[in-house]
Structure formats: structure tokens, C-alpha cells
Amino acid sequence: MSELRNTAQGLIVLQGNRMEDLRDLTLQWLGRQPLHPLARTLFLVQSNGIAQWLKTSLAERGGEPGYGVCLGTDVALPARFQWQAYRSVIEAVEGPGRVPTTSPYDKSRLRWRLMRLLPEALDNPLFAPLARYLRDDDEQRKHYQLAERLADLFDQYQVYRADWLNAWEAGDDILTLAGNRQLPVPEEQRWQPALWRMIGADLGQEQAHSHRGAVHRRFIAAAKELTERPDTLPPRIVIFGISSLPRQTLEVLASLAGISEVVLCLLNPCRFYWGEIIETQEVLRRYARQQRRKGMPAELHHSPEQLHLHAHPLLAAWGKQGRDYLQLLSEHDNTDVAAMSALLDQSVDLFLSPPTDTLLGQLQDDILHLRPVAETRELWLALNLERDASIRFHCCHSPQRELEVLHDQLLAAFAEDTTLEPRDIMVMVPDINDYAPYIEAVFGQFAPGEPRHLPYHVADQQQRHREPMLVALETLLALPRMRFRASEILDLLDIPPLRERFGLSESDLPTLQRWIREANIRWGLDAAQRSELGLPRHDELHTWRFGLERMLMGYAVGEASETGNDWNDIVPYDEVAGLDAALVGALYRLLLTLSQWRQRLNEPKTAIEWDQALSALLADTLAPTTGTEEALLGRVQAALEAWQEEITSAGINITLPLAVVRESWLGRIDEPQLSQSF
């Protein structure tokens, strides 16, 4: 067993109002309290961006905190580590194999079990609301979407409402609220407890109690008996950059604090305890409820401006999640402030006032010191807002206009402040996938070296919208409903792995584009495919078959003569000649492959059949050209194997339509990972 050296015990909470200060404090703590050379420190983060920033900070040297190298560290998401901690502690006390590697109640597995159970439940009158929703669902898309939403709901219950699930398992359809108040489940929602019991019955006695709520209770009991740290748990756990953790996770960390060093870094905008402040509207609601009781005053004696004599209104209105988190932390924080301060040569609560010569600085300082609005107005002198650019609002009519204004503002900021660097700027948007095309259009229009060029990187974008190979895969999975426009096929040919599979190079594209345009190919594979879209079956004009036959006829007979050498009303396209004719063969193989897969993908299959078919689709259409593409294809294949295993473990042996397969497989590929680029 590895032993800690000169380390504090318990759950240590480091607070600060600047992320950079918390980072410096954490790195100083790691330097002052070294572990065994072979021991590893685990960082729990909530995003890939924080993980990359921490690793970079550890590796920096000279002017910046760091050690010149980032070694002996692991990074994980809290939920994944939590299950690992459950297994380590419970198996150390109860014996190996007592907790499964993955829970059958995991959201990714539970959705498939629910998809199988839902049709069986719809005959029960309790499930009438679901039955109405699932009417006329021949493609099973609504079944899948509902199963996915319900799996997510039960996943949240396991974390935040485990007491409800425990009661439902026992047959009590009740909801436990604050103050241990209990209410019956509303009649229209009674299908939820019934469905939860159906899941448990389907899993059987052995697995029915393997959900997180039940395993968590076993973990808490086992942790009290544990006297040594299992080798599978890290000696030091640092929680960094996480704005909020559920009570369940905090209880896990507090239980591990006796055998591992647990350091929780909390970004807190206020140096005083603000876990009980409430916003004005909530005060008015509470007063309205109290006013209806006998003996309560009939008038509110305080104006709205006086309702926050001891709180900042912005913190009260926008800090609800942080307020609840502070209340939870206060139950577990047992930091020895004096001992920590002695080790670090500075306070554990590292709150520093920002410069107050700007409106933003004044606002941050007001929140830091929990000043109410009335005190703020008396404290600060008026600022010249025309010269103060710390807070600005721009009203724009479209996302593209937002990006254009942002680009202009950044150019002005760089011109005004020569010390400003692109790495100092982060832009946040509600949904990066919605804004990504406009970012590329506005920021990507200027080449490096041009006066208006700004280096940029789009982070946290879904890979299926960014990686060419995944874009091609999404297009291929839409073949049954594709119109086969010329532009769609040319877009596919722009993707290197697909081009490589059919023996084409980038230099061949201009020739193919010209041939396709001059042969008058517009859309549709042939007349039969067009007829499936409701057009007359004999209409083959401007289809791919029409154009390819013109190219092949031109290669065979050459230029059309005045007397006419057309055959079956096919006018030869005579630009195809010599060695270039091989390009027509490659184009024909591509269209033939797409046509065959259009038919195969249109037929529902079982999960095992889909696994085989999709593996063949990847082999037939994609050939990686770089190591990065090869690694990505490996991820795609691994996601397919995991997808098939999840469905099989849920006992699903029905046929699944392409719409469900496409949505679930691509969604799994697109799940964020800490190892992906930021």
C-alpha cells in the first residue's frame, strides 16, 4: 500500500475568485507536498478544456507556475471515477466481483432495455400518456427518442433522487421532498415508479440492485470499515474547474478523504458565505405565501431596493447553482486552515480584489464583498462609459452579424493593447455547432499575413460536423433518402479517405467536375430511383446513369457526327479519352457502390446484422490516408462494437430501422472525451 508523506487528511477546500490564482495555489500545494515518485495524482475535471489547461500549466516553466513537465498525473470525469471508487472500496471489503465493471443502469445501456420494455408496458392503463405519444411510429424513431429521454431521466434520479428510487423499489409510490416531507406520486406520473419496477424485474434479483443509488449505500457502509487505501485508488485526488457536484459525489469524496488526500478547488466569486441569499422575486413569492396566513402583516414594509441589504442582486439571481453547492460543501469541509496556510505561505481562501477603475472591476469587487446595490452607488464614482469598454452589449440581427461585430471589436482591442495575445481571448456562444459555420465564414475569410487575419480555433464542436471522415459517414448513412445531387457526390469526393478507396486523387477532381457539368448530370441515380421519389419512371434525363452512359459512349465512338451516331437516344460526350478514361471507371464504381448500399441500408436488421453491415460499409467506402484518420476510424469501429454490445446486453433481438441505428451510433461516436483535441 502506498503511504502519503506529509499530507493533510480530510476534504481540503481551496477557494479563490480567480481561476489562475487557484491554479497557482494548486501547483504550489503539489510542489510542497510531493508524493512517492511512482505515485500518481488524479485530477477530476468537467471538460476537456480544463484538462488541457491544467496539463499545460504543469508543463510550463519560467515566469509561469509549473515544473517543466507533466508526469504522474491522470485526468478523469467525476462520474467515471465515482464508479471506479465504488468498485475499489466495495470489493476491498466484500471481495472481488461484487460490483460490475459497468452498470446495467448506465444511460447508454438503459435506453435499449427501455426500448424493449416500452411496447410491453403500453397495455397497462398507467402508461396511457406514453401510449398516446407512441402512436403511428412505424420507424420506431419515437420509441427510441422516448427511451433515450427516459434513460436520461432515470440516470438523473440515480444521482439526485436515489431516495425516490429506493421507495419505488419497495412499492411505495411517494416523493420525498425537503424537510422529509412525503407526497404521493401524482396520478398522471405513476407510470414512472411502475416502469422503474419493470426494469428491476427484467434485470433479475442479482442485478436489480446495481443502480448507483443502491451501490452508493453499500459504498458508504464499506468505506467506514476500510482502514487502508486500495491500490486501485489514487493517493491524491484534486477536483479542479468543476462549478458544481451532486451530493452523492461529495459524499464519495468525503468518504475517501480518510484514506486519500482530497483537494477541492472551488472558484467562488464572493469571499463571504452566500449560501442563503435569495433573489428579489423569491422574497416576494415567500412573502405572498406568508401573507395568506393569519397574523401576517398586510403590507410589505420594505421596498424592492431594501430586500437585498446583505446581498448582491446579480449573485442572488444568477448564482443559484453555486449557492446550493456552497451549502453542500459546508457540510463536508473540514479544512485545517492554519496548517494549510503554514504550508503554502498564504491563505487557503485566496480572494484578491480586482482593479476597480472599470465597470467590470467594480462589479466583480461588489460581488466579492457581497455589497448591496445601495452601498455600491455610494462607494463608486461615476465612470466615463464611452471610454470604458470592460462591459459592452451589441444587438445584432443574425449570428453572422454577431461574428462580424466580434471580429471588428477584436481587431480594435489588438490595435489598442499591444500586449494582448490571441491566447488571452475566449469567446463563448450558446451552441458552438450552430455558430461554427459563421465563425469559419467570418474569421476564415482572411489568410495568414493579411492585416485583418486573426488566428482562431473552434473548440468543443461535435466531431461529426468537423471531421471529414465522420461527415462522409453521416452522408453514407443517409443514402436511402438522398437525391444524389451532383453537388452531394462531389462533396463526398472532397473527402480524402473516400477518394482513396476508389483510387482517385485530389488532382482528378477538376476533371471530374468539368465532365459532370458538361455531361449535364443534375440529380438521381436513374429513373427507378427517381420513381421512388414520386417522379415518372421513364424520366432518366440528367441522372447519373444518363451522364455515365454519355461518357462511356463518347469514349467508345468519339465525337458525334452530323449524320448522328447516337445510340438509344444517347448523345456521346466526347471529352473522355486516353488515360483519363480510368476516371470514369472510378466514378462508376463509386456510384455502383452507393447504389448497392442504398438498397442494403434501407432494410431493417437486427443489431448483429447491423454490426456486420456497417463494418462492411466502412470497408467498402473509406480508406484512411493518415495516422489521424486511421485512429479516428478505429474509434468509429470501437463505437460500433460497443453499440452492438449494449444492445445485445439489453436483450434486444428485434429488427431496428436505419433511422434509429444512425442516431444512436453517430451519437455514441460524438460523445466528448478527455483525450480529444481542444
Q: In terms of domains, do 415 and 537 share one?
A: no
Count of structural domains, the chain: 4
Q: What is the mean pLDDT of residues 569-585?
A: 80
pLDDT digits (tens, 9 = 90+) for 386-429: 888 889 999 999 999 999 999 999 999 999 999 999 988 999 99
Q: What is the mean pLDDT of residues 43-58?
A: 87
Q: In terms of domains, do 256 and 321 share one?
A: yes
Q: In terms of domains, do 7 and 156 share one?
A: no
Confidence of residue 307 (pLDDT cuts 50, 70, 90): very low
Q: In terms of domains, do 95 and 237 share one?
A: yes
Q: In terms of domains, do 49 and 170 share one?
A: no
Q: Which helix (H) or strand (E) holds 267?
A: strand 261-267
Res 563: pLDDT: 47
Res 18: pLDDT: 92
Does some domain include residue 367? no
Does some domain include residue 288? no
Query: Which residues are bridge partners to 44 per DSSP?
Result: 76, 239
Q: In terms of domains, do 265 and 186 share one?
A: no
Res 409: pLDDT: 95
**Residue 574 confidence (pLDDT) above 90:** no
How far is it, in rounded angstroms, from Cα 646 to Cα 108? 7
> By mean pLDDT, which of 69-78, 81-90, 525-534, 549-558 is the weakest?
549-558
Does some domain include residue 221? yes
Q: Which of 430, 461, 492 is the endpoint of a domain?
A: 461
Res 350: pLDDT: 86
Confidence of residue 299 (pLDDT cuts 50, 70, 90): very low
Does some domain include residue 430? yes
Res 295: pLDDT: 46
How far is it, in rounded angstroms, from Cα 520 to Cα 510? 16
Res 673: pLDDT: 62
Q: What is the mean pLDDT of residues 225-243?
A: 91
pLDDT digits (tens, 9 = 90+) for 629-672: 999 999 999 999 999 999 988 888 888 999 999 999 998 887 76
For the chain, how big is the Rg over CA atoms in Å?
31
Q: In terms of domains, do 227 and 111 share one?
A: no
Spatial contact of 311 and 269, defined as CB atoms under 8 Å apart? no
Does some domain include residue 48? yes
DSSP H helices, 602-657, are 607-621, 627-649
Domain of 17, CATH number, reads: 3.40.50.10930
pLDDT digits (tens, 9 = 90+) for 317-365: 788 888 888 878 877 665 555 555 554 444 478 899 999 889 999 999 9
Distances in whole angstroms, Cα of residue 412 to Cα of each of 393, 399, 427, 454: 16, 20, 16, 12
How far is it, in rounded angstroms, from Cα 576 to Cα 556? 9
63: cell is: 515566469
Res 12: pLDDT: 84
Pick from 456, 618, 598, 576: which is nearest to 526 by CA?
Answer: 598
> By mean pLDDT, which of 86-95, 179-188, 547-556 is the weakest?
547-556
Does some domain include residue 281? no
> By mean pLDDT, which of 100-109, 257-266, 456-465 is the weakest?
456-465
pLDDT digits (tens, 9 = 90+) for 121-151: 999 999 999 999 998 887 888 999 999 999 9
How far is it, in rounded angstroms, from Cα 26 to Cα 263? 9
Res 61: pLDDT: 65
Q: In terms of domains, do 257 and 174 share one?
A: no
Q: Which of 188, 203, 218 is the endpoint of a domain?
A: 203
Helix then strand then coil, in percent of the chain rounded to 5, is: 55, 5, 40
Range of the domain at 113: 107-203
Q: Give CB contacts under 8 A, 24+ apart, made by 651-655.
A: 651/113, 651/116, 651/202, 652/112, 652/113, 652/115, 652/116, 652/607, 653/606, 653/607, 654/116, 654/606, 655/604, 655/605, 655/606
Say what percent of the chain tops pLDDT 70: 87
Does some domain include residue 31? yes
Res 347: pLDDT: 46
Q: In terms of domains, do 605 and 501 share one?
A: yes
pLDDT digits (tens, 9 = 90+) for 587-639: 999 999 999 999 999 999 999 999 999 999 999 999 999 999 999 999 999 99
Pick from 197, 190, 110: which is nearest to 154 by CA?
Answer: 110
Q: What is the mean pLDDT of residues 256-265?
A: 90
Domain of 150, CATH number, reads: 1.10.10.160
Res 153: pLDDT: 96
How far is it, in rounded angstroms, from Cα 304 to Cα 146? 44
Domain of 628, CATH number, reads: 1.10.486.10
Q: Which of 418, 437, 461 is the endpoint of a domain?
A: 461
Residue partners of 521: CB distance under 8 A and separation at least 6 = 486, 542, 543, 544, 546, 547
Res 374: pLDDT: 78
Q: What is the mean pLDDT of residues 52-65?
A: 76
141 three-state secondary structure: helix
Res 301: pLDDT: 46
Res 253: pLDDT: 92
Res 345: pLDDT: 45
Confidence of residue 451 (pLDDT cuts 50, 70, 90): very high
Does some domain include residue 12? yes
pLDDT digits (tens, 9 = 90+) for 158-188: 999 999 999 999 999 999 987 788 999 999 9
pLDDT digits (tens, 9 = 90+) for 176-223: 987 788 999 999 999 999 999 999 999 988 788 889 999 999 999 999
Q: In terms of domains, do 86 and 150 share one?
A: no
**Residue 49 confidence (pLDDT) above 70:** yes
Confidence of residue 538 (pLDDT cuts 50, 70, 90): low
**pTM for the whole structure:** 0.83
Q: In terms of domains, do 431 and 528 share one?
A: no
Q: In terms of domains, do 226 and 254 share one?
A: yes
pLDDT digits (tens, 9 = 90+) for 66-80: 677 888 889 999 999
644: cell is: 452492438
Average pLDDT of every residue of the chain: 85
Confidence of residue 27 (pLDDT cuts 50, 70, 90): confident
